[in-house]
Amino acid sequence: MVIATDWVRLLIVCVVFTAAAGAIARFTGLARPTPFLKAAARAVLQLAAVSVVIAFVLTHLGLTWAFLVVMAAVATATSARRTETGHKGVWVALAILVGTVPALGLLLGIGLLPVKGIALIPVGGILIGGAMTATTLSARRALDTFRDRHGEYEAARALGFGERAAVGLIVRQPAAEALIPALDQTRTVGLVTLPGAFVGMLLGGAPVWQAGALQIVVLLALLAVEAAAVATVVELVARGLIRRTSQGGEVRLT
């Protein structure tokens, strides 16, 4: 009976939060409520499915690596869709992986991260997720800026700049704004936010110092991974490897 009551409470809270998000977006003109309802439904279904899958995956190292590959593929598809880059969106995989793979390799190589699914999946997911967000935000800002300031690009070309240099000159600083969330999270950790890795280890019974040590490693790894992602996006946009398939750029929460 107690368990049933807890599930009812959980359901009520989830419905309230989802309805609040949709209602706020609807009545303030930010967006339609549909994307919030879809996102909530997908989150519930995906977490339910992943919970079952992970319980099995964690017992097989080969499946753990395969699961990380699936994570990276989904991150690539999500970022490509958000940046509206069509078939060229495959290049965002490079931005997502260019920092993530070396970071995981370093953590494994020096022994801070054990070669076990229980450690690889959460840390790998955090790094891939951070790289995905940085890639999406920086690509959108870079492509929007390139579209809006195309006249400056033409002027730079007329002055003798090469295409790569002219594009990079325009999009580099706007793209760098994608690093603000990671920088702010790192600056305010412990004062404003208590990130998931820290809280999870505490709830799991780990000493406070051990939880804090892991969290600072993850945060600094995220900074490096996201900086690498943004730098790669700038280079890919400058080389014309990431371009929109249309003249879009508006934020669509679908």
pLDDT score recorded for residue 193: 67
Mean pLDDT of the chain: 83
In single-letter form, the type of residue at position 152 comes to E
* 3-class state of residue 63 by DSSP: helix
CA distance 142 to 56: 41
| CA-closest candidate to residue 121, choices 185, 72, 186 | 72
Q: What is the pLDDT of residues 144-170, one digit of tens each?
A: 998 888 888 888 888 888 888 888 888
Q: What is the pLDDT of residues 25-67, one digit of tens each?
A: 888 888 888 888 888 888 888 888 877 777 777 778 888 899 9
Q: Evaluate whether 215 touches 196 at the Cβ level (below 8 Å).
A: no
Beta bridge partners of residue 193, listed in sequence order: 189
| CA-closest candidate to residue 93, choices 53, 152, 56, 139 | 139
User: What is the pTM for the complete model shown?
Assistant: 0.80
CA distance 159 to 150: 14
